[in-house]
């Protein structure tokens, strides 16, 4: 189910050291992006805050439609903090 807001919100992901995740990871959760947004468009949005290492929009396995969230990874903590503060 894709629910659209006027703008996606970003929540900084906190790594879990018990799962072997390092504290330097800079992946952020992106909630409620527009239903038909592409990874390229999302990369352009986050590119305003710095370089983007990885974009992943989570999609329904069979329908191929967005599930309404995704992840953005930026190479540095400084760049990863910028979108969540704006």
**Residue 15 maps to which CATH number?**
3.30.70.330
3 inside domain: no
Number of domains in the chain: 1
4 inside domain: no
**Mean pLDDT, range 15-32, rounded to an integer:** 68
Task: Name the burial class of residue 27, with classes exposed (0-12), middle (13-18) and buried (19+) by CB atoms within 10 angstroms of its CB.
Answer: middle
2 inside domain: no
pLDDT of res. 13: 59
Tell me the pLDDT tens digit for each residue of 61-82.
Answer: 898 888 888 888 888 777 777 8
Tell me the pLDDT tens digit for each residue of 35-64.
Answer: 888 999 999 999 998 998 889 898 888 988
Largest Cα separation within the chain, whole Å, is 37
Closest listed residue to residue 82, CA positions, set 72, 33, 39, 21: 72
pLDDT of res. 77: 75
Q: Assess contact for 84 and 11: CB atoms under 8 A.
A: yes
Provide the residue range defining the domain that includes 33. 9-85
31 inside domain: yes
């Amino acid at each position: 189910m894709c629910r659209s807001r006027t703008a996606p919100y970003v929540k900084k992901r906190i790594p879990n050291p018990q799962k072997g995740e390092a504290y330097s990871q800079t992946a952020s959760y992106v909630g409620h992006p527009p239903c038909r947004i592409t990874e390229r468009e999302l990369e352009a949005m986050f590119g305003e805050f710095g370089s983007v290492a990885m974009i992943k929009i989570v999609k329904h396995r069979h329908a191929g439609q967005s599930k309404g969230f995704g992840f953005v990874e930026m190479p540095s903590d400084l760049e990863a903090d910028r979108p969540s503060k704006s």
